[in-house]
Amino acid sequence: MGIHTSVDPETDTVRFLSPEGALCRPIPSSIGDELLVMLYRAMTRTRIFDGKAVALQRTGQLGTFASALGQEAVGVGAAAAMQARDVLAPSYRDHGAQFLRGMTMAECLLYWGGDERGSDFAGPRLDFPNCVPVATQIAHAVGAAYAFKLRREDRVVLTFIGDGGTSNGGFYEALNMAGVWKTPAVIVINNNGWAISTPCARECAAASLAQKSVAVGIEGRQVDGNDVVAVYDTVRQAIEKARAGQGPTLIEALTYRLGDHTTADDATRYRDPELVRREWTREPIARLRAYLTRKGAWSQHKEDALQRECLEEVGQAVNAYLGAQPADCNAMFDHLYAALPASYSYQRDMARRFSPRNGGGHG
């Protein structure tokens, strides 16, 4: 792939499957039915987890949660293209990718329940924890990728950012250095149409967010983010290019946020319900299921079994989360600094003094 000098949304968007699940163009021979079924199962697993997490929040058993409803193809497609030795620098809506990398559902629930043990992944030990500050994960990813380049390590860093985050100065600064240093990094924009309540058209006047790559001299690609095949194949090519020492790629995945921004949001206040209803006809899971069913690679029997399997897995994760012994109050301070400043030491001492687990009278 060479460097695109522009990205035309009308002609350059990569797509293999139509919203009805019909082929728009041949799927590469390297993407067989086994891989497609794996992608379908991973997206379904993510959606069932999302539904349960929102229900837990609504009943006061989980903190604020950011659902990936309707955007499952972005995280699943991108993570499936990574190797175990690569590194993921996620934002706060990327659990679909993190599950494929090895983060457990129980760890995810612990994180959103306010427990720092939810950021200490037992599986992908070298992946970054969730990044809530907007755009800082891009700097982390580019820095780690530059380290891999200096060490001559055969590894790539992949990171995600939302459409609103690309208007943040930190995004531009990190993207610029990715281009200057030619780092082995892949930056995926999850363009779900909304920066909380601000529509994308009021965030940026560019014809596409992928075009932001042009100013920093790296390649920009745009994909249908509801087509998991397009996401997987485009990210796979970008990772191979980065691993070969040919620099970073910025990929804009066009999708739609079918749910609220987080459980603290109410999207019905600012979105046209007719538009949301129309976007439901374009969502990624039904699209791939239609294609697989038409090919004879999927059936109602397999679907029923998958639903049961996912519900059981999610149920076990919920039980593990709800049954976890709460961490003590030191956990709030343990990972802030190598040497805790005096003001924080005072706060920690007060927390210990009043902790119910230490016999204090105040929680």
Q: Which of 255, 232, 218 is nearest to 138 (CA)?
A: 218
pTM: 0.93
**What pLDDT score does 332 carry?**
85
8 A C-beta contact, residue 172 and residue 235: no
8 A C-beta contact, residue 289 and residue 295: no
Contacts (Cβ under 8 Å, ≥6 apart) of 242: 145, 156, 183, 184, 185, 186, 248, 249
Is 40 in the active site? no
Per-residue pLDDT of 7-55, as tens digits, reads 665 567 999 999 999 999 999 999 999 999 999 999 999 999 999 999 9
Q: Sorting pLDDT into bands at 50, 70 and 90, what band is 1? A: very low
pLDDT at 252 over 60: yes
**What pLDDT score does 10 carry?**
56
Distance CA 193, CA 95 (A): 19
Q: Of these residues, 93, 261, 282, 287, which one is catalytic?
A: 261
Q: Of these residues, 270, 335, 337, 353, which one is catalytic?
A: 270
Q: Sorting pLDDT into bands at 50, 70 and 90, what band is 70? A: very high
Q: Of these residues, 15, 93, 236, 257, which one is catalytic?
A: 257
Contacts (Cβ under 8 Å, ≥6 apart) of 319: none
pLDDT at 354 over 50: yes
Distance CA 105, CA 210 (A): 32
In order of 330, 336, 352, 353, 357, the CA distances from 361 in angstroms are 17, 26, 11, 9, 9
Share of the chain above pLDDT 90, in %: 89
Q: Sorting pLDDT into bands at 50, 70 and 90, what band is 335? A: confident
Is 261 in the active site? yes
Mean pLDDT of the chain: 94
The pairing of beta strand 185-191 with beta strand 249-254? parallel
Contacts (Cβ under 8 Å, ≥6 apart) of 325: none
Is 140 in the active site? no
pLDDT at 334 over 90: no
Per-residue pLDDT of 132-149, as tens digits, reads 999 999 999 999 999 999
pLDDT at 362 over 70: no
Q: Sorting pLDDT into bands at 50, 70 and 90, what band is 6? A: low
Q: How far is CA 313 from the centre of its chain?
A: 20
